[in-house]
Amino acid sequence: MRTYRIFIVTLVTIMFVGGWHVFSGQAEENNDTPLNQQHDQRKEDIAKKSLKKAWTKPPLELEVVLQKIYIDGQMSEERRTETVWSLEDFWAAYDGWKVVNQQEGQIVFHKKVKELSPTIKAKGYIGLDEHGKLSIFEGKPSEQKVIQTFYQIDLDELEVLDSQGLEEGIKIKSADQYFQLLKQFEKLAVKKP
C-alpha cells in the first residue's frame, strides 16, 4: 500500500510540474519533443500537397476567334489556339474586345475598328456598278468585284466630271476620303417614292 501511495504522489508531482511548464510557457521554449515534430511535419506535408494540387491542373486550351469589323463594313477573322494558364491574364490580353460567343473550347471576340479594312486600303475603289448603284469594288469597277453596294444614283443629276470619275473608279486612300465620298454622292441618291 505504501508503494502505491509513493507511486500516486510521484505521478501527481510529475503532472503538477509538467502542467506548470505548459501554463508558464516554458513548454513552448523546447519545441523539439517528438509530438511537436510530428505535428510540424504533418502541417508541412499538408502544405506541400495543397501546393502540388494547385499546380497539377493542366492549362486550358482554347480556340480564340478574333473578328474585326472595319468602318467600310468588311470583317476580318483570325483564329488561334491559346494555352491559358491564368484567366486573369487571358482576359487582360483581350481588354477592349467583346465576347460574342463562348462555348466549350472556343471563344469568339468582336471588335469595331475605326479604320479601313486591309482590302480597301490596298485595292478599294468607289464607283458605279452596272445598274448605276454606288458601290465599293476590290479593284477598278470594270473588274466588277463588288464588295458593298450603297444606293442607286440619279444619273441625270450626276455631273459629267463625277460620272467619269465613278465609271473609272475613285481610289479610296483614307477613312476621311471614304466618308467624304459617301456623303458627297448621297445627295445624288434616287429618292424612293
Q: Same CATH fold, 118-186 and 60-112?
A: no
Angle at 61 between CA 49 and CA 74, to 5 degrees: 150
The structural domains of the chain, with segments of one domain joined by +, span 60-112, 118-186
For the stretch 66-125, pLDDT in tens is 999 998 888 999 999 999 888 888 899 999 999 999 999 999 999 999 998 998 888 888
Is 135 exposed, middle or buried, given 0-12, 13-18 or 19+ CB atoms closer than 10 A? buried
Q: Residue 8: its pLDDT value, please?
A: 67
> What CATH code would you report for 60-112?
3.10.20.420
Could you please state the CATH topology (level 3) that the domain comprising 118-186 is classified under. Alpha-Beta Plaits (3.30.70)
Q: How far apart are CA 100 and CA 177, in angstroms?
A: 31
For the stretch 132-180, pLDDT in tens is 888 888 888 888 788 888 887 777 776 754 666 777 888 988 888 888 8
Which H or E run contains 111? strand 106-112
Which of 69, 155, 67 is CA-nearest to residue 114?
69
Q: Is the pTM of this model over 0.85?
A: no
More confident residue, 168 or 25: 168
Q: Residue 131: its pLDDT value, please?
A: 81
Q: How far apart are CA 138 and CA 147, in angstroms?
A: 6
